[in-house]
Structure 1
Amino acid sequence: MMFNKWSRSWELPGGVIESGESARECAIRELYEETNQIAADVALMGLMKFDLQPSFHGPERTEYGALYYAKLDVVRDFVENDEAAKIIWWNGITDIGDIAIIDRKLIEFV
């Protein structure tokens, strides 16, 4: 889990696909950019449709996403960046504070 500096909550690494990029490539890139981890093996867990309420990201809208599971050969040191203040390896049980609602649901699929 990464602690998002903007939302002040824990969430899974993720983001928006860049031009010419596949969903898989996006997942690998976002994991690296936000956590400094390099995915050794990536598996598609599923596709999702989200009906999102208005937020600082914009008005009410529908978005689609892909959920990936990554294995790491090596755990690299975290490097703080514009989006993530820190990362943790969460067991799914320990109270770590606020976790984005959407990410609580996504974790159920992994």
Structure 2
Amino acid sequence: MEETSQELNNIKLCVIVKIFVKSENRVEYGAVWLGKIYNVKPFQINDEMDKICFWHLKCDIGYIDGIDRKLIDILL
């Protein structure tokens, strides 16, 4: 809800990642959650995101950050 404006049901934790941010010489942790969206709500721009998209993994959606690409590889 915080980043996507969507309400999820049946939420479960998929993976926790440890990321070293080389440019800032620090470690960051993140969690990836999986859930179901039954009713898509309008997205609200926030401090972390300016848009979202639903992706079926079959078409090219453009640039994907290295961290996000790695998470996709881990989860698939």
Same fold at TM > 0.5:
yes
Query: What SS does the aligned partner of 2:28 have?
Result: strand
Cα deviation, residue 62, structure 1:
1.7
* Alignment RMSD (CA, Å): 1.8
The aligned amino acid for 2:45 is E
Residue 33 of structure 1 is matched in structure 2 by 2
| Identity level (%) | 40
TM-score by length of 1: 0.57
d(CA) in 2 for partners of 1:47 and 1:83?
Answer: 19
Residue 46 of structure 1 is matched in structure 2 by 15
- Is the 8 Å Cα contact of residues 41 and 72 (structure 1) preserved in structure 2? no
- Which runs of at least 4 in structure 1 moved beyond 4 Å after TM superposition? none
Aligned length, in residue pairs: 75
- Is the 8 Å Cα contact of residues 40 and 70 (structure 1) preserved in structure 2? yes
The aligned amino acid for 1:96 is I
Give 5+ residue unaligned stretches, structure 1.
1-31
Tell me, yes or no, if structure 1 residue 79 matches structure 2 residue 44.
yes
Residue by residue over 1:27-85, the C-alpha shift from the partner in whole angstroms, topping out at 9 and shown as x without a partner, is xxxxx23221011121111222222211xxxx121222222112112111222334433
Query: What SS does the aligned partner of 2:35 have?
Result: strand
TM-score by length of 2: 0.76
